[in-house]
């Protein structure tokens, strides 16, 4: 008998009940009751890195990794919940698990041999040459930021185990899910208002491909500004954006509680 994951995904309900004034202040959260075959699920770990150049962002991420993500991974692995690591292309392609799955393929690319016109032109994409005037200005600490990026690695406490997949692109994530029959993607990682939303293996693009997308809202944090830092409104807003437009959220504790009973109890 197929093992089942039981969850109550949260979403923002734009509708109101009969007789209620249909205004924004009367809309709110609602929950669904789902039973999903375990074989159709996967946990997608987006950019769970060992460091961040923003020290407060890094501090929040470290706390989440140790208090939320590690316990969730332990329970998910016991339950046989498929786990996919998506740590960005440079980090993914340096890992043996990526080489095992995708190294011989070379990855899909848009280039002279692909049969597709390269558009927008490369100089426009990189804001160079005739388009340099449209680029963001150089910042005094850009070199420091780039040096930081060069030392990024997958977090030492969140490493792939066994046959867990490592992907570098949305095409690879889609290919892997297609091969494994995965339909529901549970996202966690960093940063909520950047890579979680915008990577080609992130929530928006994978939802466009037709997957059921859920974010574990206690297993992520965003990059905040002086105006949003105190109440983490960038993080909260990114989660709400997903909940408002066809995606769902839940907590790691709710997912753990919904794992197959005999496994979660152990």
Q: Assess if residue 144 is contained within a domain.
A: no
121 — pLDDT class (breaks 50, 70, 90): confident
Cβ-based burial of 260 (10 A; exposed 0-12, middle 13-18, buried ≥19): middle
Confidence bin at 145 (pLDDT 50/70/90): confident
The 3-state DSSP class for residue 17 equals coil
* Locus of tokens 């032109």: 121
Q: What percent of the chain has pLDDT over 70?
A: 93
| Residue 248 within a domain | yes
CB neighbourhood size of 83 (10 A):
22
Helix (H) or strand (E) holding 219: strand 212-221
Residue 41 lies in a domain: yes
Task: Please give the helix or strand (H or E) that residue 70 lies within, else none.
Answer: helix 70-79
C-alpha closest to that of 170 among 204, 129, 120, 221: 204
Where residue 115 falls among pLDDT bands split at 50, 70, 90? low
pLDDT digit string (tens) for 178-212?
999 999 999 999 999 999 999 999 999 999 999 99
pLDDT bin (cut points 50, 70, 90) of residue 67 is very high
As for how many domains the chain has, the answer is 1
Tell me the two tokens of residue 2. Answer: 């197929």
In this predicted structure, what is the pLDDT of residue 136?
A: 79
C-beta atoms surrounding 79 within 10 Å:
21
Domain annotation covers residue 136: no
CA 128 centroid distance within chain? 30
Gap between the Cα atoms of 50 and 38, Å rounded: 29
Q: Is residue 224 part of a domain?
A: yes
| Residue 182 is assigned to a structural domain of this protein | yes
What is the pLDDT at residue 111?
Answer: 46
**Residue 32 contacts by C-beta under 8 Å, 6 or more apart in sequence?**
8, 9, 11, 248
For residue 35, pLDDT over 80 is answered with yes
CB-based burial, 104-128: b 16+ in 10 Å, e otherwise: eeeeeeeeeeeeeeeeeeeeeeeee
CA dihedral for 253, 66, 264, 202, sign (positive or negative): positive
* CATH number of the structural domain spanning residue 49: 3.40.50.850
For residue 114, is pLDDT > 60? no
pLDDT in tens, 157-175: 999 999 999 999 999 999 9
pLDDT at 152 (0 to 100)? 87
19 located within any domain: yes
Q: Which residue segment(s) compose the domain that 157 sits in?
A: 4-104+153-261
Query: Is 24 a member of any domain?
Result: yes
pLDDT value at position 71? 97
Please, what is the average pLDDT of the chain? 91
Among 130, 48, 58, smallest CA distance to 83 is for 48
Q: What is the model's pLDDT at position 1? A: 65
Cα separation, 123 vs 259, whole angstroms: 49
Contacts of 101 (CB under 8 A, 6+ apart): 165, 166, 167, 172, 176
Q: Where are the beta strands (DSSP E) in 154-202?
A: 165-166, 184-190
């Amino acid at each position: 008998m197929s093992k089942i994951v039981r969850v109550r995904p949260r979403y923002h309900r734009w509708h109101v009940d009969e007789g209620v004034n249909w205004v924004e202040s009367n809309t709110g959260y609602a929950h669904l009751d789902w039973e999903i075959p375990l074989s159709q699920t996967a946990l997608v770990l987006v950019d769970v890195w060992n460091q961040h150049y923003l020290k407060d962002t890094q501090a929040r991420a470290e706390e989440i990794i140790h208090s939320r993500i590690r316990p969730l991974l332990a329970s998910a692995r016991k339950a046989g919940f498929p786990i996919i690591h998506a740590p960005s292309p440079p980090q993914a392609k340096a890992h043996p698990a990526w080489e095992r799955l995708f190294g011989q393929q070379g990855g899909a690319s848009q280039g002279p041999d692909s049969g597709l016109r390269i558009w927008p032109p490369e100089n426009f994409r990189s804001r160079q040459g005739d388009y340099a005037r449209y680029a963001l200005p150089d910042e005094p600490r850009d070199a420091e930021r780039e040096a930081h990026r060069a030392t990024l690695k997958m977090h030492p406490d969140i490493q792939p185990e066994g046959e867990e997949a490592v992907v570098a692109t949305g095409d690879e994530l889609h290919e892997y899910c297609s091969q494994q029959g995965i339909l529901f993607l549970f996202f966690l990682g960093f940063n909520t208002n950047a890579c979680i939303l915008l990577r080609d293996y992130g929530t928006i693009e994978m939802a466009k491909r037709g997957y059921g997308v859920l974010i574990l809202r206690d297993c992520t944090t965003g990059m905040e500004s002086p105006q949003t830092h105190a109440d983490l409104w960038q993080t909260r807003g990114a989660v709400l954006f997903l909940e408002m437009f066809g995606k769902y959220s839940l907590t790691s504790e709710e997912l753990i509680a919904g794992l197959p009973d005999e496994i979660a109890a152990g």
